[in-house]
Amino acid sequence: MRYEAPTTTEGAVALLAAANGTAKVLAGGTDLIVQMRSGRLAPDLVVDLKRIPALTSIAAENGGYRVGAAKACMELVEHEAFVRDCPGITDAVKLIGSIQVKGRASMGGNLCNASPAADSTPALIAARVTARVVGPNGSRDVPVQEIAIGPGKTSLGKGEILESFLLPKRAARSGDAYLRFTPRTEMDIAVVSAAVNLTLDEGGVCRDACVSLGAVAERALVVPEAAAALIGTKVDEVALKALAAAASAACRPIDDKRGTKAYRTKVAGVLARRAAEIALNRAKGTN
Amino acid sequence: MAKHHVTTTLNGSPVEYLCEPHHTLLDVLRDDLNLTGTKEGCGSGDCGACSVMLDGRLVCACLTFAAECNGRTIETIEGMANGTKLHPLQQKFLEHAALQCGICTPGMLISAKALLEKKPDPTEEEVRYWLAGNLCRCTGYNKIVEAVLDAAAELRRA
Amino acid sequence: MANDVKFPERELKVIGTSPVRPDGVPKVTGRAQYGADWTLPGMLWAKVLRSPHAHARIRSIDTSAAEALPGVKAVVTGKDFPEQKFDYVGPERVAINFWHFTRNVMAKEKALFDGHPVAAVAAATKDIADEALKLIKVDYEVLPHVIDVDEAMRPDAPLLFEDMKTRGVTPEPTTPSNISKKIEFKLGDLDAGFKMADEIVEMSYKTKPVHQGYIEPQSTLARYDTDGQAEMWSSSQGHFVMRTFTAKLLGMRVADLRVHAAEIGGGFGGKTICYVEPIAVLLSKKAGHPVKLMTTREEVFRATGPTSGASMTIKIGATKDGKIVAAQGIYKYQAGAFPGSPVMNACMCGFAPYDIPNAHAVGYDVVCNRPKAVAYRAPGSPISAFAVESTLDALASKLGLDPIDFRLKNIARPGTQMLSGGKLAHAGFAETLQALQKHPAYKSKLGKNQGRGVACGYWFNGGGESSATVHVNEDGTVVVSTGSPDIGGSRASMALMAAETLGIDYESVRPIIADTNSVGYTQATGGSRVTFATGMTVINACNKVVDELCARAAKIWKIDRADVIWENGHARPAGGRAGEFEPMSLKAIAAKRAATGGPITVSASVNAEGQAPGFSAQFADVEVDTDTGHVKILRYVAAQDVGRAIHPAYVEGQIHGGVVQGIGWALNEEYIYDKNGHLENPGFLDYRIPVCSDVPMIEAIIVEVPNPVHPYGVKGVAEANIVPPMAAIANAIDKATGTRLTDLPMSPPKVLAALDAG
Ligand SMILES: Cc1cc2nc3c(=O)[nH]c(=O)nc-3n(C[C@H](O)[C@H](O)[C@H](O)COP(=O)(O)OP(=O)(O)OC[C@H]3O[C@@H](n4cnc5c(N)ncnc54)[C@H](O)[C@@H]3O)c2cc1C
Ligand code: FES
Ligand code: FES
């Protein structure tokens, strides 16, 4: 195996584009190194992204944030303005692994590893985040939900890397939240998860919402029916029940070592509802 | 494949090593530099026994390529005591009987030190969540948490 | 911590204090050397090739390509291990069959579980060793497999051993099966007993195998020289046992193998048998170089022993006023790939805490395609206690009795006839339950979806063979060497008992663990035996030292030995000579060593008997999230009779640790196999042992009802604490939700399904 640590995105892209055999990019390595050690993966080339400023920085942009795809989760969690402005994504990022894992793991790696259970993905989707992809043919901006398309599969082409995320400016009276279920309090992979992002009008009526579920399908789902259950309501009991039902109805999970179909389907509704309640309080500024 | 030549600052001293590109920092620390205080409990990021500080960040040495560490600063358990003077956390772990077999102890100490540097006055719950990446199978965590809280109090007094 | 019963006999000076352990500093500075931390010049790295199949006949193994790889120095397979006699040897409860044992270390005819070793290599680097494994070609004939115990017992189940006839059944069965053994205990008249009962509860239970989960994977360094002398650094619970097993499996003479006890990173029973040691020695012998063999976490889960999973049915009957009149337990325990589950312990421990006039226990030892079960903290007892203590709780509810009152009404006391034979010889059970009942939180109110559950646990505790040597140095310091690996602070306890006996301060004693060729034979650290048995031999040796010191003082004073007594660490003239000379300290006498007869060194050995059982009573408060099935432990209180707490902080630590392992067992830990018999969760991410944020502070109540056989009253502390938690938590969930879980682990999907089923 060859290890390279370029200092520009273009350098990384060039290395990848020119590679023969399996080439992998390395962000925090918390998925990649585990997979290599278990023998599931034996890349010929590993391109470390952590020496590229564009991939490891965070900056304000258009009232939102541009976050480097390889930026370590701990750095995000310690970024006060980010934490204040992006509570739902922060919820998710905080849940990824241990402090040690977060010291290295990135949202880009979380997304590109393309596990249906990735924690930050539903939160990024619900927050309507755009990903900037750079490749041999230049760069393109894509909605986050179009990146991970199946277990371990992304829509990135050869030589393409995810450079950064654009977290858009949040409208007034908006709130978002992410919840997952795991048997342990920490150090666990989501059995099922839900992210809810909503915006209220001055009268407290929900005018916009996005709901995303994790670990209930081959990829994180966007559930418009669940969002529709909230829009036009004051996010009251009736709406929350409808939201839970719509969330459960959208699930098409599998039985695996981490949970059963029935369990995931039911708890998806429970979590969507609980996340909506938190998001509502955040939108109202009561939290 | 050629080995990488890596220059680091390890526990305050300049240290160079040659490593295979696929070897982890844990491999190099233990097998090449003979720093066996950093333990391997899983090799997959799950147990925290290999916790070290990399450029001031708490990480798992088993999930870090040795080749990545060029120009970086590494701190391991071997550098925790100041010469012959134990760090207050080390002292409190002893006084509180916070280790039984002791295999988790180096990782716990590194992790706890990282916590107290960020948060000098943590609550019990904060200690528990921070240490969640450090498994201990012997102690049930009681005395570890007590030792960390006590060390925090002592460090605040100092 | 509360001391409910005081040690009455005598004033103690250092015992009962909690000083810093003698081996502490190296462990907090990273200098302590565990199994994987040893190296030798010219050392090779070994790796083991493992079966990817749950059950397969090994038609052939071709190692030629691996051997030809540059850097590979030796390859071994099952053929390189001498054949062993098919014979069950040793006491029945822990009998070993070396024909099986050698096949567990390295498969011969068949691979019997996913992860079963089939070959091993030693090479110049780890990478070359890994490469070499890929070059070994094994021709497998995949066979049908069986994982579950109830399925393994069916007549049409795939057989692991085509000729296995159930032992313990007369007449001997005519057809083979996976049932290795049946075992039975009977007391009184069961039918008559049940006829007297006003209420009877009968329930069935299942548990999954759980792993000890020690954080340090098995590792060893071995050196075999051309003169036939071998040396080994091994992290195990008993370096003598490793020597015995390794020598036996390799056909070596015991004296030719010297084993050093590396520091051990947890064992909990799992490091009482060997896996890697014989392989490493054999590779070293073949290669002519030292060999280090470290296992990975995945290998630990796939191929070292968890404890059994089980299927059980318990029936208990009681009269209206709460007296148990009859009880029956049927225990089917998975042994894994080779016979030898702890089902006999299940039969003996399940009902042991109670006075039950009519009782019956039947146990089945059943093989299946999983790693062979190995001891795990109170082996066998936590599983049976889960079933028995759950059933008792249901019965108490039916009778409208407080669970502690109900247990107290039936508690075994000295003189109670035990189902396993003999009468209970020691007090402590009732005292422990009473201590628990007195805990102020026992009567505290709980909220919605919260419940409190009680359970008890019994463990034999252990005695047996231990040795110690005590050396008095010329400056008055003392070195105590024993043969007991220290997993949880036992060096501190040895130093405390030595200091107490000699009348010197704790800091003057240096306890060490000597290698197999430097101290007498000592059984493994297990069975809660070290502080009792090794402690006893340390005390005996120290008493002999005292005797010698008195003789030396007599010589110095030129008086009769009989006129010298030992008091407060000093020899004093006594009797008719009292007051004639200034008392002499140990240090003063030691300084005159050469002039009074030379080195003062005493070795002692015991085959300790008279251990007293361990008993723990606990309650758990839980809260159930009825929408997700998640169970949170709000409070946990554990009382345990330890006889005497030599080092109370480490005693508490044992209780905390055992309880938290029990919490993991109760809620989340399990082996998950896919339909092909592959283990799906061989790592700490999906084999979920409790993390720090999962548990509250465990409140330990140390109860001290001394064991009169031990000079300081020790009973043992390491195991009884893991017995009650599974039932305590099941009982608490039942109280919180009205739903009883009978299947471990009580993981969220199971809890939610049970709640939804109403
Ligand atoms: C102990 C432990 C606990 C964990 N717990 C959680 C958890 O709770 N929740 C969770 O979601 N995950 C968890 N994970 C998984 C992992 O930590 C996360 O998925 C993490 O976000 C991955 O980020 P990384 O930077 O380490 O990715 P890497 O391992 O560096 O990369 C992951 C994959 O993405 C590719 N990749 C990375 N960056 C880019 C990029 N910029 N462009 C294109 N491709 C890229 C890599 O080539 C690789 O295939 C855990 C892992 C461990 C070891
Ligand atoms: S060895 Fe690195 S986390 Fe376990
Ligand atoms: S003290 Fe043994 S694992 Fe923590």
Smallest-distance ligand from the CA of A111: 1
Q: How far apart are CA A84 and CA A80, in angstroms?
A: 6
Neighbours of C588 (CB within 10 A): 17
Q: Which of C114, C112, C134, C111 is nearest to C123 (CA)?
A: C134
Cα–chain-centroid distance for residue C562? Answer: 45
B111 contacts on A by Cβ (under 8 Å): 99-100
Residue A131 to chain B, least CA–CA distance (Å) = 26
Residues of chain C predicted below pLDDT 50: 1-8
What tokens appear for C524 in the block? 């493994």
Q: Residue B1: its pLDDT value, please?
A: 58
pLDDT in tens, A92-115: 999 999 999 999 999 999 999 999
Q: From the CB of A26, is ligand 1 less than 6 Å away?
A: yes
Q: Mean pLDDT across the stretch A144-164?
A: 97
- CA–CA distance, A67 with C707 (Å, rounded to integer): 66
Q: Spelled out in words, what is the top-level CATH class assigned to the domain C463-608?
A: alpha beta
What is the number of other CB atoms lying within 10 angstroms of the CB of residue A256?
16
Taking the Cβ of residue A268 and every Cβ of chain C, the question of whether any pair is shorter than 8 Å is answered with no
Question: Do A30 and B62 lie within an 8 Å CB cutoff?
Answer: no
Of C24, C264, C657, the CB nearest to B94: C24
Token pair recorded at residue C115: 């992860």
C215 to B137: CB separation less than 8 angstroms, yes or no: yes
Chain B adjacent subunits, 3+ CB pairs under 8 A: A, C
Q: Which residues of C are catalytic?
A: 719
Which amino acid, C137?
K
Q: What is the DSSP letter of A173?
A: T
pTM above 0.90, yes or no: yes
Distance CA C479, CA C597 (A): 19
Same fold, C310-461+612-756 and C463-608: yes
For chain C, the domains span 35-143+217-264+271-303, 310-461+612-756, 463-608
Q: Which residue(s) pair with C212 in the sheet?
A: none
Mutation target to probe the C interface, by most C beta carbons within 10 A, among B11, B63, B101 is B101
Domains and CATH numbers, chain A: 2-167 (3.30.465.10), 174-284 (3.30.390.50)
Closest to C221 (Cα-Cα) out of C34, C485, C32: C34
For the cut 70, the answer to whether the pLDDT of residue A259 exceeds it is yes
Residue A235 structure tokens: 């996010």
Query: How does the average pLDDT of chain A come out, rounded?
Result: 97
Check the CA dihedral C388-C392-C393-C394 and report its sign: positive
CA separation for the pair A119, A14 (Å, rounded): 30
Using an 8 Å Cβ cutoff, are A56 and A68 in contact? yes
Task: Output the pLDDT for position C81.
Answer: 98
What residues contact residue C608 under an 8 Å CB cut-off, 6+ apart? Answer: C463, C464, C465, C466, C529, C532, C533, C536, C537
pLDDT at A206: 98
Domains parsed from chain B with CATH numbers? 4-79 (3.10.20.30), 88-157 (1.10.150.120)
Sequence-distant (6+) residues with CB within 8 A of C242 are C232, C234, C236, C259, C274, C277
* Token pair in block for residue C190: 């069961």
- pLDDT, tens digit, 9 for 90 and up, residues C150-192: 999 999 999 999 999 999 999 999 999 999 999 999 999 999 9
User: What architecture is the C310-461+612-756 domain classified under in CATH?
Assistant: 2-Layer Sandwich (3.30)
In three-state secondary structure terms, B7 is strand
The per-residue pLDDT for C491 is: 96
Do you know the residue count of chain A? 287
- What burial letters (b/e) apply to C569-579, b meaning 16+ CB within 10 Å? bbbbbbeebee
Task: State in Å: Cα B59 to ligand 2 middle.
Answer: 10
In Å, what is the CA distance from C676 to each residue of C109, C147, C673? 20, 10, 8
Q: With a 6 A CB cut-off, is B22 part of the ligand 3 pocket?
A: no
What is the largest distance, in Å, between two alpha-carbon atoms of chain C?
Answer: 86
CA of A33, closest atom in ligand 1 = 29
Please give the number of the atom of ligand 3 that sits closest to the Cα of C214.
Answer: 3
At the topology level, CATH places domain C35-143+217-264+271-303 in Aldehyde Oxidoreductase; domain 3 (3.90.1170)
Q: C430-466 burial, b for 16+ CB within 10 Å, e for fewer? A: bbbbbbbbebeeeeeebeeebbbbbbbbbbbbbbbbb
B70 to chain C, minimum CA–CA distance in Å?
23
Beta strand B4-10 with C584-585 is unpaired
- Comparing CA positions, the residue from C270, C667, C684, A258 lying closest to residue B135 is C684
What residues of chain A lie within 8 A of the CB of C748, using their CB? 181, 183, 191, 263
Tokens of C418: 């035990």
Q: Do A184 and C688 touch (CB under 8 A)?
A: yes
Establish if B36 touches chain C: CB-CB under 8 angstroms: yes
Output the CA–CA distances (angstroms, integers) from residue C682 to B44, C211, C217, C612, C711, in the order listed. 11, 10, 13, 37, 45
Taking only Cα atoms into account, the Rg of chain B, rounded to an integer number of angstroms, comes to: 16
Q: Minimal CA–CA distance to B94: which of B103, B83, B85, B86?
A: B86
CB contact residues (below 8 A), chain A span 239-258, against chain C: 257-258
Q: Average pLDDT for residues B28-33, to the nearest whole number?
A: 98
Q: Classify residue C416 by its DSSP letter.
A: P
Give the span between the Cα atoms of A55 and C496, in whole angstroms.
58
End-to-end, the C-alpha distance of chain B in Å comes to 51
| One-letter amino acid for residue C470 of the chain | V
Among A216, B98, B70, CA closest to C18: B98
Give the span between the Cα atoms of C280 and C742, in whole angstroms.
Answer: 43
Surface of A (167-186) touching B: CB under 8 A: 185-186
Looking at the complex, report in whole angstroms how far the Cα of residue A94 sits from the nearest Cα belonging to chain C: 14
When pLDDT is averaged across residues A203-213 and rounded to a whole number, the result is: 98
| Secondary structure of residue A211 in the 3-state scheme | strand
In C106-215, which ranges are continuous DSSP H helix? 126-135, 149-152, 190-196
Q: Residue A31 forms beta bridges with which residues?
A: none
Whether residues C297 and B43 touch (CB distance < 8 A) is answered with yes
Torsion of CA C681, C685, C689, C693, to 10 degrees: -160
The answer to whether residue A191 neighbours chain C at the CB level (below 8 Å) is yes
Report angle CA C352, C353, C358 to the nearest 5 degrees. 55
**What stretches of C95-167 show up as alpha helix (H) in DSSP?**
98-105, 126-135, 149-152
Proximal ligand: closest to the CA of A191: 1
Any atom of ligand 1 within 6 Å of the Cβ of A97: yes
Q: Which of A163, A177, A168, A169 is nearest to A131 (CA)?
A: A163
Which atom from ligand 1 is nearest to the alpha carbon of A69? 41
Helix, strand, coil % (nearest 5) of chain B?
A: 40, 20, 40
3-class DSSP state for residue C47?
strand
Residues of B in contact with A26 (CB under 8 A): 65, 68
Q: C468: closest CA among C488, C487, C491? A: C491
Is residue A203 within 8 angstroms of chain C, CB to CB?
A: no
Gap between the Cα atoms of A204 and B26, Å rounded: 54
pLDDT of residue C7: 40
User: Does the pLDDT at position A266 exceed 60?
Assistant: yes
B14, β-bridge pairs: B9
In order of C552, C581, C587, C647, the CA distances from C590 in angstroms are 9, 17, 5, 28
